[in-house]
Amino acid sequence: MTSVLTVSVATLGIRRYDTFAQFRNHMELIVREAAEAGSRLLLLPELACVGLLWMDEQASETRVPQVSALYRRALTPRFGEYKRVLSQLAMQYKITIAGASFWLEQGGQGANVGFFFKSDGTIVEQLKLHPTLGERAIYTVGGSEIKVCEVDGVRVGMLICYDIQFPEVTRFLVDAGVEVLLVPSLTDERGVWRVHHCAHARAVENQLFVCVSPLIGDLGIPVDRPVHGRGAAFIACPIDNRFKIQDGTLARAAPDVESILHSSLDLELLRKSRARSEITQLADRRPDLYSSLLCRT
């Protein structure tokens, strides 16, 4: 098990791809930079695939009622190629690529699928657990499983955007040994703050690193209510005398600008924080008490 895990967290700008080759070239630039920075893991945002919608000839005319049909028509057939491209890049550059969720139709229902593309060619898929109102409007359903992956012996979990607002899932992952939580995200100016505050809360509650990767920019679809992503990549950490970071922000990128945040996560420091610091949040839990707190009068 490594004592330091070097990670890269992308603030990814939306681009309108005319061909799949343009998408691949964009991804390769980011993967190459992460690998050259010495990172063992690269986190890409939620729905990194949406620029592929512009390969459809009706994209520029799509209005809200037609969004569901566009996603099904433009994205679902490209699921296999999308996975092949990112898996090949992970193997070529010897790095784990995480997040990069993709929307597709499965059995008549929509799914927002996140990934761990490992450097040995293994692909682990995880569905978003809690679809938003907008996702449910295009008949997206939530997943029912959560995955734990290892990168250089470090246990890593993933919650896709809205999922970070449900603390029960993070606690489940921490009980399974997770020390690094990944949050690929796509949200607007209010959602940015929901993700921000929840990521920091999960880092404090569970004494772990939380890495957030947003998709930013104007998609232009649908024309009457276009998707517009906001935010900045950041890494939250515990707030205690071990880390000595007053606001719990280990690293942060500039907002609303495509960039890659490189950072080294000190796992030994995290383990010391969990074992002995001014706040021992995990050790001080009282689960037996919580189940019997209700006092009936």
Instruction: Give me the CATH number covering residue 231.
Output: 3.60.110.10
> By C-alpha distance, which of 130, 109, 118 is closest to 183?
130
- State how many domains the chain has: 1
Range of the structural domain that residue 68 is part of: 4-280
AA identity, residue 179: E
pLDDT of residue 296: 64
Helix, coil or strand: residue 27 = helix
Task: For 187-218, give the DSSP string.
Answer: --HHHHHHHHHHHHHHHHHHT-EEEEEEEEEE
pLDDT of residue 293: 86
pLDDT of residue 12: 98
Partners of 123 in the β-ladder: 117
Intra-chain end-to-end CA distance of the chain, in Å: 51
| Any domain includes 268 | yes
| Any domain includes 263 | yes
Helices (H), the chain: 20-36, 67-74, 79-93, 133-137, 167-175, 189-206, 267-275, 287-290
| Any domain includes 287 | no
| Any domain includes 286 | no
| Any domain includes 8 | yes
| Any domain includes 292 | no
Residue matched to tokens 């293994």: 122
pLDDT of residue 131: 98
**Which region, left, alpha or beta, applies to residue 186 given φ > 0 means left and ψ of -120 to 50 means alpha?**
beta
pLDDT of residue 18: 97
**Radius of gyration of the chain, Cα coordinates, nearest whole angstrom:** 19
pLDDT of residue 141: 98
Cut 0.85: pTM above it: yes
Q: In what helix (H) or strand (E) does residue 110 lie, and over which residues does it extend? A: strand 109-117
Sites in the chain below the pLDDT cut of 50: none
| Any domain includes 111 | yes
